[in-house]
């Protein structure tokens, strides 16, 4: 009751109360796309941000990846919301680099309450890379990178003893196999996103006694540079059967990053304080089509 009364007084006095006031969120892949959208949505609700992005090209990825300038823009936009941010260039495949970023975030803010493991790549259809390269790079970034991120952050959540929320970005391809053609990039993406679900469930069980919740989000195609780029558009024109496999049940070609960010915010906030081990689709009906 006292908390409700205090909240009421703050509202009456015109003091903005964010859902994440006093929280710190670490977000991987934060230079653009879904990662930047998540950073801005959480910052808009009061969270300070720690974010990382590789900011260089991986050879097997056929579309342009995020740049240092993209990461700098995320910093500007978070700071424009009057929130603090630590942003570093780091590869989620490099566990020691991630540990350094976490240490910097803890030195700046003292704690990390929310983890959004969002970094990911999609190597489908790259004729300049072998199936083996595309498969291995995709699994290393999407799955091993998520593993590295969990191990870099969650021990500090446990040690602090204040609970927390972990959100892992999977995909509709982590719930179905629809859309694959057996090639290295497609199979690697589906396998890695299913693997993320396995990590989510394993860590949900492991961390529940510490009041740390672990869930995954499963977007359909999202209007970000990973999907909406010249290479992918041309590929879909050349191979319409692939585009057809990705059709949603609702008449929506792509969802917007904010649609996924709203789900991430809910999972990060106390509004979902007893929700853990959940695979949450944001998919316009893709998985039930």
Residue with tokens 């993209």: 70
CB count in 10 Å sphere of residue 165 = 27
Tell me which of 109, 122, 189, 286 is the catalytic residue: 189
Would you call 189 a catalytic residue per the annotation?
yes
Alpha-carbon span 164 to 259, nearest angstrom: 22
Residue 72 in tokens: 């700098």
| β pairing state of 114-117 and 24-28 | parallel
Residue 249 in tokens: 């049940």
CA dihedral (4, 5, 7, 8) positive or negative: positive
Q: Are 131 and 80 spatial neighbours (Cβ–Cβ below 8 Å)?
A: no
Strands (E), the chain: 24-28, 48-53, 85-89, 114-117, 164-169, 212-219, 279-282
Residue 208 in tokens: 């529940």
Q: Among candidates 199, 209, 161, which has minimal Cα distance to 277?
A: 199
Residue 47 in tokens: 């969270």
> Which residue numbers are catalytic?
189
């Amino acid at each position: 009751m006292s908390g409700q009364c205090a909240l009421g007084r703050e509202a009456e006095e015109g003091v903005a109360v964010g859902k994440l006031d006093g929280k710190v969120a670490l977000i991987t892949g934060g230079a653009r796309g879904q990662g930047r959208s998540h950073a801005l949505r959480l910052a808009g609700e009061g969270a300070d941000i720690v974010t990382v992005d590789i900011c260089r090209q991986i050879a097997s990825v056929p579309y342009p990846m995020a740049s240092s300038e993209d990461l700098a823009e995320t910093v500007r936009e978070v700071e424009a919301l009057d929130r603090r941010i630590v942003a570093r260039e780091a590869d989620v495949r490099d566990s020691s680099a991630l540990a350094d970023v976490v240490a910097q975030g803890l030195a700046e803010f003292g704690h990390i309450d929310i983890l959004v493991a969002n970094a990911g790549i999609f190597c489908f259809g790259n004729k300049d890379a072998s199936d083996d390269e595309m498969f291995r790079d995709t699994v290393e970034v999407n799955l091993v990178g998520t593993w590295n991120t969990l191990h870099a952050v969650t021990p500090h959540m446990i040690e602090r003893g204040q609970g927390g929320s972990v959100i892992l970005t999977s995909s509709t391809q982590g719930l179905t196999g629809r859309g694959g053609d057996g090639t290295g990039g497609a199979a690697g993406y589906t396998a890695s996103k299913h693997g993320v679900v396995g990590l989510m469930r394993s860590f949900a069980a492991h961390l529940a006694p510490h009041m740390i919740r672990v869930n995954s989000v499963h977007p359909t195609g999202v209007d970000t540079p990973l999907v909406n780029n010249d290479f992918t558009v041309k590929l879909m024109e050349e191979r319409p059967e692939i585009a057809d496999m990705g059709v949603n049940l609702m008449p929506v070609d792509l969802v917007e990053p904010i649609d996924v960010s709203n789900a991430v915010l809910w999972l990060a906030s106390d509004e979902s304080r007893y929700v853990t081990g959940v695979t949450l689709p944001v998919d316009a009906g893709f998985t039930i089509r």
